Amino acid sequence: MNLAELGVERCRKAGYLGAVGTPTADATSFEDVGGLEEHVRGLKEMVMLPLVYPDLCETLGIRAPRGVLFHGPPGTGKTLLARALASGKAGGPPIAFFMRRGGDVLSKWVGEGERTLRKLFAQARAFQPSIIFFDELDGLAPVRSARQDQAHASIVTTLLALMDGIEDRGQVVVIGATNRPDAIDPALRRPGRFDREMLFRLPGLTARHRIL
In a domain, 193, yes or no: yes
Which residues constitute the domain of residue 172? Answer: 65-201
Those residues with Cβ within 8 angstroms of residue 206's Cβ, 6 or more apart along the chain or in another chain:
35
The predicted-structure confidence for 19-32, as pLDDT tens digits, reads as follows: 345 565 556 778 77
The letter for the amino acid at 59 is: T
pLDDT at 17 over 50: no
Q: The whole model's pTM is what?
A: 0.80
Q: Cα(145)–Cα(153) distance, rounded to whole angstroms?
A: 8
pLDDT at 198 over 90: yes
Length of the chain: 212
The letter for the amino acid at 9 is: E
Q: What is the pLDDT of residue 89?
A: 53
Burial of 61 (0-12, 13-18, 19+ CB in 10 A): exposed
In a domain, 206, yes or no: no
pLDDT at 13 over 70: no
Burial of 146 (0-12, 13-18, 19+ CB in 10 A): exposed
Q: Angle, to 10 degrees, between the axis of helix 3-14 and the axis of helix 112-126?
A: 120
Q: What are phi and psi of 196, to 5 degrees?
A: -125, 150
In a domain, 88, yes or no: yes
Average pLDDT over residues 83-102: 75
In a domain, 40, yes or no: no
Q: Which residue did the predictor score with more confidence, 22 or 136? A: 136
The confidence band for 15, taking pLDDT boundaries of 50, 70 and 90, is: very low
Domain containing residue 184: CATH number:
3.40.50.300
In a domain, 141, yes or no: yes
In a domain, 60, yes or no: no
Q: Cα(64)–Cα(45) distance, rounded to whole angstroms?
A: 9
Do 200 and 159 contact (CB within 8 A), yes or no?
no
In a domain, 26, yes or no: no
Average pLDDT over residues 38-48: 87
Identity of the highest mean pLDDT range in 12-16, 25-29, 41-45: 41-45
Nearest CA among 21, 1, 25, 24 for reference residue 11 = 21
The predicted-structure confidence for 146-167, as pLDDT tens digits, reads as follows: 666 676 788 889 999 998 876 6
In a domain, 6, yes or no: no
pLDDT at 88 over 60: no
Number of domains forming the structure of the chain: 1
The letter for the amino acid at 137 is: L
The three-state secondary structure class of 23 is coil
